[in-house]
């Protein structure tokens, strides 16, 4: 049996990349037994096998390199227990984060499926749970670029761009709805989900809504506001508050304008 093993031998035996073994040497985590001064070849002995096995095990548990360096400097049971408990907490936190991501993916898939398959142009009476929103009072007109007010919303609430997709809505003021004016919006908001930590969030209570969905964007909405108002008058309903208007499918999801779907919600009492 060979007493010394090349870096290539060690790489094959332990299925560790040669570049990784060189890195371990550079940082002092796994120094070779001998380095040939003529060709700079690294050679290892069987004494390195246990150390490399321990490194692989601890790395598989996700422990960072700095913790491994500290552990091998002192190599103590108490220190290992402390490291593993700390890593256990970090793993638990990552699991919670991934569970939130999984819930968001499921919710987004459900929303897209619902937007695609629910009938369009039909008024429905629905009761929705309370909503948590980041809400910005800011006038906006349908012919304007919505990206600027979205940027203002992001700045005002210090919101990460990664949590925006599919959650932006705008509102027509109750006074304008009652006056049949649908050419301007009085606010923009983002619907918050579990895991979205935004200070100063506004709570919209659980309510009954008149809901209509239609093919198109905010520019097409006025026709459906008129339809909702006609329905409310026929059924003697009172509109209680500003509207909630959200594009369920838009340019963030598809390049096809024909596939855009917008939803209008009007809170009402009987």
**Domain match, 126 and 179 both:** yes
Number of domains in the chain: 3
Higher pLDDT residue, 158 or 230? 230
Place of tokens 């925006």: 164
**Domain match, 54 and 132 both:** no
**β-pair partners for 188:** 136, 170
**Domain match, 96 and 10 both:** no
Flag whether pLDDT at 164 surpasses 60.
no
**Domain match, 108 and 53 both:** no
Q: How far apart are CA 35 and CA 19, in angstroms?
A: 16
**Domain match, 172 and 191 both:** yes
Looking at residue 100, what is its pLDDT?
A: 85
Flag whether pLDDT at 209 surpasses 80.
yes
Q: Which of 21, 48, 75 is the last residue of a domain?
A: 75
Higher pLDDT residue, 161 or 126? 126
Query: Are 213 and 261 spatial neighbours (Cβ–Cβ below 8 Å)?
Result: yes
Task: State the CB neighbour count (10 A cutoff) for residue 112.
Answer: 16
**Domain match, 124 and 243 both:** yes
What CATH number is associated with residue 51? 1.10.1660.10
Looking at residue 161, what is its pLDDT?
A: 58
Quick one: pLDDT band at residue 22, thresholds 50, 70, 90?
very high
How confident is the model over 70-81, as pLDDT tens digits? 999 888 899 889
What CATH number is associated with residue 247? 3.20.80.10
Q: How far apart are CA 256 and CA 77, in angstroms?
A: 61
How confident is the model over 90-134, as pLDDT tens digits? 999 999 989 988 988 888 888 889 888 889 999 999 999 999 998
How confident is the model over 90-101, as pLDDT tens digits? 999 999 989 988
Task: State the CB neighbour count (10 A cutoff) for residue 101.
Answer: 11
**Domain match, 170 and 247 both:** yes
Quick one: pLDDT band at residue 166, thresholds 50, 70, 90?
low
Domain that holds residue 101: 81-117
Q: Which of 62, 97, 117 is the last residue of a domain?
A: 117
Quick one: pLDDT band at residue 154, thresholds 50, 70, 90?
confident
> Residue 164: which residues within 8 A CB-CB, separation 6 or more?
150, 154, 190
**Domain match, 175 and 264 both:** yes
**Domain match, 11 and 99 both:** no
Quick one: pLDDT band at residue 165, thresholds 50, 70, 90?
low
Q: What is the DSSP string of 69-134?
A: HHHHHH--HHHHHHHHHHHHHHHHHHHHHHHHHHHHHHHHHHHHHHHHHSPSS--EEEEE--EEEE
> Residue 259: which residues within 8 A CB-CB, separation 6 or more?
215, 249
How confident is the model over 227-258, as pLDDT tens digits? 999 999 999 999 999 999 998 888 878 888 88
Q: Which of 100, 117, 134 is the last residue of a domain?
A: 117
Q: What is the DSSP string of 192-235?
A: --TT---TTPEEEPPEEEEEEEEES-GGGTHHHHHHHHHHHHHT
Flag whether pLDDT at 89 surpasses 90.
yes
Q: How far apart are CA 238 and CA 179, in angstroms?
A: 14
> Residue 219: which residues within 8 A CB-CB, separation 6 or more?
142, 143
| Burial (CB count <10 Å: 0-12, 13-18, 19+), residue 193 | middle
Flag whether pLDDT at 16 surpasses 70.
yes
**Domain match, 253 and 154 both:** yes
| pTM of structure | 0.72
**Domain match, 185 and 132 both:** yes
**Domain match, 126 and 212 both:** yes
User: What is the DSSP secondary structure assignment for residue 137, as one 8-state letter?
Assistant: E
Give residue 131's Cα distance to chain centre.
Answer: 18
Flag whether pLDDT at 58 surpasses 70.
yes
Average pLDDT across the chain, whole number: 90
Q: How far apart are CA 246 and CA 259, in angstroms?
A: 14
Q: How far apart are CA 221 and CA 46, in angstroms?
A: 75
């Amino acid at each position: 049996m060979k007493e010394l093993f090349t870096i290539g031998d060690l790489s094959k035996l332990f299925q560790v990349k040669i570049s990784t073994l060189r890195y371990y040497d550079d940082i002092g985590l796994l120094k070779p037994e001998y380095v040939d001064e003529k060709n700079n070849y690294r050679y290892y002995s069987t004494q390195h096998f246990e150390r490399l096995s321990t490194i692989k095990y601890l790395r598989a548990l996700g422990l960072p390199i700095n913790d491994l360096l500290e552990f091998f400097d002192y190599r103590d049971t108490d220190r290992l227990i402390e490291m593993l408990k700390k890593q256990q907490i970090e793993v638990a936190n990552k699991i919670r984060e991934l569970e939130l991501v999984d819930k968001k993916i499921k919710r987004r898939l459900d929303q897209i499926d619902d937007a695609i398959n629910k009938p369009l142009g039909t008024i429905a009476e629905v009761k929705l749970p309370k909503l948590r929103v980041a809400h910005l009072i800011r006038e906006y007109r349908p012919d304007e670029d919505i990206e600027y007010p979205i940027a203002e919303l992001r700045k005002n609430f210090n919101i990460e761009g990664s949590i925006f997709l599919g959650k932006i809505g705008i509102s027509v003021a109750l006074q304008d709805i009652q006056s049949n004016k649908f050419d301007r919006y009085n606010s923009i908001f983002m619907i918050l989900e579990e895991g979205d930590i935004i200070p100063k969030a506004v709570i919209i209570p659980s309510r009954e809504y008149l809901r209509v969905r239609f093919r198109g964007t905010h520019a097409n909405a006025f026709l459906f506001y008129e339809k909702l108002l006609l329905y409310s008058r026929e059924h003697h309903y009172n509109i209680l508050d500003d509207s909630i208007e959200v594009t369920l499918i838009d340019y963030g999801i598809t390049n096809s304008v024909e596939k855009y779907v917008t939803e209008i919600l009007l809170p009402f009492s009987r």
